[in-house]
A and B are shown apart, each in its own frame.
Chain A
Amino acid sequence: MEQFLAFGVVGLTTAAVYAVIGSGLVLTYTTTGVFNFAHGATGMLAAFSYWQLAEGWGLPVPVALALVLLVLAPGFGLLLERFVLRHAQGLGDAQRLVITVALLSGFIATARWVWDPNEPRPLSPFFVDREPFRLGPAVITWHQAITMAVAVAVAAGLWALLNRTRTGAEMRATVDDRALVGLTGADPVRANRVAWMLGTQLAAVGGILIAPTVALDASQLSLLIVSAYAAAIFGRLRSLPLTFLGAVVVGCTESFLTGYLPQNEYLPGLRLAAPALLLFAVLLLFPHRRLRGRDRKLIPVPMPSMRGTAVFAASIVALGVLLATTLGEEQAITYGSMFALGVVALSYVPLTGYAGQVSLCQLSIAGIGAVVWAQLGAHGELWALGATILISAVVGALIALPALRLSGVYLALGTTAFTIILDRWIFTLPSFELFGVRIALFRQGSAEVVGPNLFGLRLEDTAQIMVFAAVCLALAVLGVAALRRGTFGRRLIALRDSEAAYATLGGNLLLAKVLVFSLSAGLAGLGGALYGMHLRSVTAENFNLVAGLPIFLIAVIGGLGMVGNGLFTGASFVGPNVLISVAPWLHNPMGLLPALVGIGVSRHPEGVLPMMRRGWEPLGRDRTVLAALLGLFALVWALRLGDVIGGWTLFVALLVGAHLLQKAAAVRQAAQTAPDVPVEWWGVRRPWRAEDKEVLARGLAAG
């Protein structure tokens, strides 16, 4: 009984923190419509700042608390509102999601940059030197008591604010009908500002209260939010009382699992994954949502020409061969993962770009692909690669089934939960037996991965595997382009644009969604196997949620509608290493890059690839310049192979040469298209044409 009470007290204390964080999330979501994935990370930053002030610089605790909660947190909330989130409001679901995911990734990178993760940072609980007191049979520490008291105070304060003040009415009114608020003379922007300030403060309170009981670690603290998400989803992102109730359920479940879960090697991960499992369960208990109408902000999905795609696929292989033959072993290890990660990123194109399903678990599926290959393809058997794709596709279909009930933010949350369940539980399992088959995942450490055996040709060194990955990426690009041009691609785009119209034309939503989930999971699994081959030995950390975020962000920045996305993402992911190799101090700022550019996605929702495509199109069409480029390519390559020039010269020569030739092609193209002659000068500056008369007559009639 005493033990039961002790775990109960711990559970309620944790619940209090989740409730505080969760209520901040509900507050900002209902008022502004932006679901903030970075809410937990905001609390994490607050906890680090508090540590810095109180422990690092030794300020008195009350001063440090006041600075963080009353100055830094609201100020930070205001800045975010002004410079990031206000612009997010006008965007579509997917872009808003990207912006807050970018914030999450950016906050974690910032914290790791400022506060070296290898240094321990103990944070003592409040009133740690006071004796715990007894309440009946239960023993409660002062920190626990304060935490619970704060939650109660937050509940009362929020209730009073929302129901007893005009500002509260304004905030609730903004949720109901933003346009009407404008007509009353009230100010919806002010309501948003208040919400972001308060939301940030609540996240900060939660972060500071929980930090002493867990390690002060950037990603761990940021992901505590999963428990708060589960609580908030309990309240359907609307109801504060239900959010508090949800927090109690989540907090106590975690605590009692700690106490009463049987001790064996398979179950400790289950306790860690419990919040994610609860989140998944709560998401699925949602009622079916009605068929959605169309979303206003849709990212275009250009039709790739078969010839253009073939040229592009050939260039991928050429790039692979070039890199494989010119890079040293160490460099090959640094840059070679571009093709494997490119295949993972390409899996977003059909799933998110065409079908509009936002999934944050693609890298986790890649992880499954890697371990399946490690186990089945222990000797590089080629059939095992097929089996890897197949098994990954089946996993994708399994995710799709529950995901069918979800869309938008809820789907992103569901796939996040799935990722965390894998990270914390499944991937940490020791080997086990299922239906008589011995299954080893990461063996609680690392799994060894070998290259494939191509009909007797064993691919072993990094360079060979790099070329193999480049060929796989090229084939995948051809496949996705063919998909886009075919019936199934059209259907995916159609069902995204209007589920109602697609269904009333006789389309089967369920089947199409399951198919696209398994198709892209198959791709991701292949990418994971290739990534594993490249790394030779993989751990669960290679495939966790935080590792997957930058890939998702870069893919979005590239433009999810384009088949060029795979190479773009892979190259952008490893590319900054070129600069870091020159200037090692750039390591941390470069970590922030995906997040910074992700935030900028509001300006170019269609991504940068369409712009790049426009820039390079003239070169592709101009045979003379194209030949010159190929000649240059062959020349410097031969020089490098003959060891006449070094790697850097090759790199710079290709970069400068390609750039100059692209400009040349653009200039030649512009010269060919006749300049626009104003109508008054027709027949003067250029000869009079037969059709001119008709054009003029029509213009006069219309005017």
Chain B
Amino acid sequence: MGSLQVSGVTVAFGGHRALDDVAMTAEPGRVTGLIGPNGAGKSTLFDVVSGLRRPSSGRVVLDGRDVTRLGPARRARHGLARTFQRLELFGRLSVGDNLRVAAELGPERRRADHVVTEILDRLGLAHLADTPSDSLSTGVARLVEVGRAMAARPKLLLLDEPAAGQDGEETERFAALLRSLAGDGTAVVLVEHDMGLVMNVCDEVHVLNLGKIIASGPPEVIRRDETVLAAYLGDA
């Protein structure tokens, strides 16, 4: 299982609150969307959940276990994996080796080669296995990051703008991938600006604005929510 409960998380730099009493959940087998305008605090929330940033207050609970005080590596061993909006590939390793490092650190380290081949095939990246990962275009690099996170066989997968730079057809395929990941029982949390994709694949959407969750619910409700629209359009 890979359920996530975040409650009361606040991150303050000086007087500014990047996150303010944020609560959200993600369930296994479901894709949870996290949307909001630029600077709303989405990536900061991912840093808090993955252990790269300590919140000033609040709790992060993974599978019923409080992990707030654990470092990133310990959380990864509890089944958490993520991608980065700013792209954090291992640039000097090939695409295949990027995945292999993750697989060798994950629960299926004994069959790492098998895991790597399987994921590369699933993502349609098999022909890039030996390509140096610093020579990829941004769109492909994002996909490789998703693959690397998958190679760790996570129970909870945090994806930070994985589809940026993809065209219409690629986005379609990516949506299918997300659904199949959830179908495998993974809890997927998706930060994305492509609203078509979010509304299409998410079972539940949380909307973050100025560090606060301003709405949560299924996509069709969020789409018609006046507060959400106001946040995006900047109405008071």
Contact = CB atoms under 8 A, between A and B. Distances in A.
Contact of A494 (B77, B86, B101): B101
Contacts of A290: 52
Contact of B97 (A490, A496, A501, A561): A490
A291 B73 CA distance: 12
Interface in A490-507: 490-491, 493-494, 496-498, 500-507
B91 A291 contact: no
B84 A506 contact: no
A508 interface: yes
Contacts of B102: 505
B73 to A, nearest CB: 5
Interface in B69-123: 71-73, 75-77, 80-82, 84, 86, 88-93, 97-98, 100-102, 104-106
B77 A498 contact: no
Contacts of A497: 88-93
Nearest to A497: B90
A76 to B, nearest CB: 37
Contact of A505 (B71, B132, B152): B152
Interface in A388-446: none
A501 B105 contact: no
Contact of A506 (B52, B76, B93): B76
Interface residues of B, number: 33
A504 B72 contact: yes
Contact of B76 (A491, A505, A561): A505
B209 interface: no
A387 interface: no
Of listed B50, B77, B90, residue having the most chain A CB within 10 A: B90
A298 B101 contact: no
Contact of A500 (B81, B88, B98, B152): B88
A576 interface: no
B92 A301 contact: yes
B202 to A, nearest CB: 23
Interface string A453-483: 0000000000000000000000000000000
A504 B90 contact: no
Given A490-B97, A490-B100, A294 B91 contact: yes
B51 interface: yes
Nearest to B93: A493
B155 interface: no
Contact of A504 (B76, B91, B132, B134): B76
Given A505-B81, A509-B73, A498 B97 contact: no
B206 interface: no
Nearest to A301: B92
B84 A500 contact: yes
Nearest to A296: B91
Interface string B141-167: 000000011001000000000000000
Nearest to B109: A487
Nearest to B152: A505
A237 B97 CA distance: 38
A486 to B, nearest CB: 10
Contacts of B76: 503-507
A660 to B, nearest CB: 34
A502 B104 CA distance: 12
Given A498-B90, A504-B80, 17 more contacts: A293-B86, A294-B88, A298-B91, A298-B92, A300-B92, A300-B132, A490-B93, A490-B97, A490-B100, A494-B98, A497-B90, A500-B88, A501-B88, A504-B52, A505-B102, A506-B76, A507-B76
20 contacts: A300-B132, A301-B92, A493-B90, A493-B92, A497-B90, A498-B89, A498-B90, A500-B84, A501-B84, A501-B89, A503-B73, A504-B80, A504-B82, A505-B81, A505-B102, A505-B105, A505-B106, A505-B149, A507-B73, A507-B76
Interface of B: 50-52, 71-73, 75-77, 80-82, 84, 86, 88-93, 97-98, 100-102, 104-106, 132, 134, 148-149, 152
